[in-house]
Chains A and B, each alone.
Chain A
Amino acid sequence: MDRPTPPTKPTKVYFFGTCLVDLFYPDAGMAGMELLQAQGLTVVFPQGQSCCGQPAYNSGYRADALKVARAQLDLFPGDLPIVVPSGSCAGMMKKHWPHLFHGEPDEAKALQVSARVWELTQFLVQVLDVKLTDKGEPLRVTWHASCHAQREMGVVDEPKALLRQLANVELVELTREKECCGFGGTFAVRHAEISAAMVGDKVADIESTGAKRVVSGDCGCLMNINGALEAGGKPVQGQHIAQFLKERTHG
């Protein structure tokens, strides 16, 4: 990836929580920050942050997306890494902001911010090289890879590597790990039936692993999958990887 590599291990990072985490999964966001703090980092959470702009961008309303993305730029001055607990939001900032800001007066600033964005598990593995000690009871889990994490941020092995570090956790992979869960933002309501069929297939795949927990790095996917698991009365719980790791390692 074309990013400025942080000098060995940084001492301070920004955290961009994302709007979904903010409203629906704040504990996962907090867990993410605490995982970073546990590695000795100072975490800065600019209170002025809101959203990366993706919902409007994907709906075809780029001017609105630009307005919102622009409002984030001055919150992350300097050159500290910006860690994001979501592959899709990280992907928006990293891959799509250059396109969104192309030709704009603040294009250079946007590119400078964009280049410093990391997805959380990617940062934990590639930059911090974390070593985790499992304090939890034996548990079988499975991992759901979000499309944007995999295909926009290139995050494929890092989350599973983290899970595999946990001695009492048995990771069973999904048969169709790379297949979209059907969230797709507004797709889930715009093409609700197709989305339902897709999450149905994902739930069946999860069930067939026998896992008690499905872990994911993206809250859009989690809302979708967890929602379907609950509605179907399935005994499997979905959880953000940050929260899962924190629970396992801090007891």
Chain B
Amino acid sequence: MAEHAVNFAAASKAALQDSQLRGNFRRAMDGLMSKRAVQFADAKEWHTMRALAASVRLRALAKLPELLEQLETNLTRNGIQVHWASTTAEANAITLGIMRKANATLAVKGKSMVTEEMHLNAFLEDHDIEVLESDLGEYIVQLDGTMPSHIIMPAIHLNTKQIAHLFKQKIKDAASTGEDAAALTDLARRILRQKFMNAGVGMSGVNAAVAETGTLCLIENEGNGRMCTTVPPVHIAFMGLEKVVEKLEDVPPIISLLPRSATGQPITTYVNMISSPRKEGEKDGPREIHVVILDNGRSSVYADPELRDTLRCIRCGACMNHCPVYTKVGGHAYEAPYPGPIGKILVPQMEGLAKRGEMPHACTMCNACVEICPVQIPIVEIMGRLRVEAVHPSASVKDSGARASKTEALVWKGWAAMNSSPLAYKIATTAMSAVGNAAPGSLPLLKEWTSVRSKPRFAPRTLHDLARKKGIPNV
């Protein structure tokens, strides 16, 4: 077994006991779900738009190697420098190289989940480079020293009071600031304005990279993304290799669906499309733009045609907003940059099933996520496939078979034997009806059940019995 398995059960237990957290999440998710529903009141529009967006993503995946090459050609032609990284270590090294060359000791960053995968901030800090998160939610969790708990709203696990307290603790100018959202936001605005002015490097993610024109598309509400990508002399954009789309016209479907799915907004405040560094005669904008294209296991996900659909994701976060498990335990319990349903299928593939074999099981397969995914990812089917991979070694997924258990395999063999022979089934069910209720509630598995529920009661006669006695025909 390669690495220490992440114990989701233990992390989630702690989250469940935190009534503040549970209350925050319940309110937040309810709000987000209802706002989204308002945006998609027209069922026909929803179904045709998501089919369009799914086709855009599928086409991009079908042509992925060609589109990445075309993207690189056009970005380069536009004066944007392209870097490729197979691993997060490589990506970090590339970033450090750019920072060093720019003599920069301060970077301001707009939200980028890819950089969370890289643990970029910690890496750069180890090299005496300060990275300041400029998205308000990310700024808050950075102050708090934690990871974001949601890919769109990083500080969703905290309420206003908790944030005010945090600001007062960590920011020296905050002592006299008001405790409402407007005052806290204003404080963040003032502090970050200075940083935007002085940073040597600005960093961002990429929502979609257009191969046809060599364009980076970023969406945001706050304006920090535009600050990071316009003010500092150097801009570094980080993207997962799946984020490319073929044509410029493929962008509007994504722009239409992502904000509506994520937060129930018709559109984000800003849609920012960048195609080159500052040109001759222009008076602002970065002199240098770098794009780091990161693999980090995506090419392995890509290799399997069923699992490849994981890469359709446009990172809207709607799946976690609708997930009843996520609502209960929040984002940190997942201990991963990507929580919720997309996290449960992506992270085990990236990090392997030895470490993450439990993630695909932390799911009731309710399909709420499947119902609202704007690009129609068959999340639950992939979840099911990963459950197979966890206990059966194969070449498809990292550390597949890591959770194989001889006992479990035997249990299911026995179950299959019982259920595939009418005689065996009859004997077993007759026995269960007769004595099943005598089983003590403290038995493993039964114990977990009876902690909050009464013991299930075997009926005195099976339906097979009743049907026969009532003369229901057999054929």
Q: Using a CB–CB distance below 8 Å, which chain A residues touch chain B?
A: 15, 17, 19, 21-27, 29-30, 33, 42-51, 53, 55-62, 64-65, 67-68, 70-71, 99, 147-148, 151-152, 178-180, 182-201, 223-224, 226-228, 230-231
Contact = CB atoms under 8 A, between A and B. Distances in A.
B396 to A, nearest CB: 13
Contacts of B388: 60-62
Nearest to A51: B419
Contact of A47 (B445, B449, B467): B467
Interface of B: 8-9, 12-13, 16, 22, 26, 324-325, 328-329, 361-368, 370-371, 381, 384, 387-392, 408-409, 412-413, 415-416, 418-422, 425, 429, 432-433, 436, 445, 448-459, 461-468, 470, 472-475
Contacts of A65: 416
Contact of A223 (B389, B456, B473): B456
Contacts of B413: 64
A51 to B, nearest CB: 5
A49 B419 CA distance: 8
A198 B455 CA distance: 18
Nearest to A78: B475
A182 B456 CA distance: 16
A14 to B, nearest CB: 10
B451 A192 contact: yes
A179 B463 CA distance: 30
A30 B367 CA distance: 30
Given A23-B459, A30-B466, A227-B449, A184 B472 contact: no
B361 A187 contact: yes
7 contacts: A23-B429, A45-B474, A47-B468, A67-B416, A68-B416, A147-B365, A192-B452
B463 A50 contact: no
Nearest to A230: B454
A26 to B, nearest CB: 4
Contacts of B445: 189
A46 B363 CA distance: 33
B422 A48 contact: yes
Nearest to B370: A151
Nearest to A228: B453
Looking at B324, B450, B456, B466, the one whose CB has the most chain A CB atoms below 10 A away is B324
Given A46-B475, A51-B419, A59-B412, 17 more contacts: A23-B432, A23-B462, A24-B458, A29-B463, A42-B473, A68-B420, A179-B324, A180-B324, A187-B364, A192-B448, A192-B451, A192-B452, A194-B362, A196-B451, A196-B452, A198-B328, A231-B450
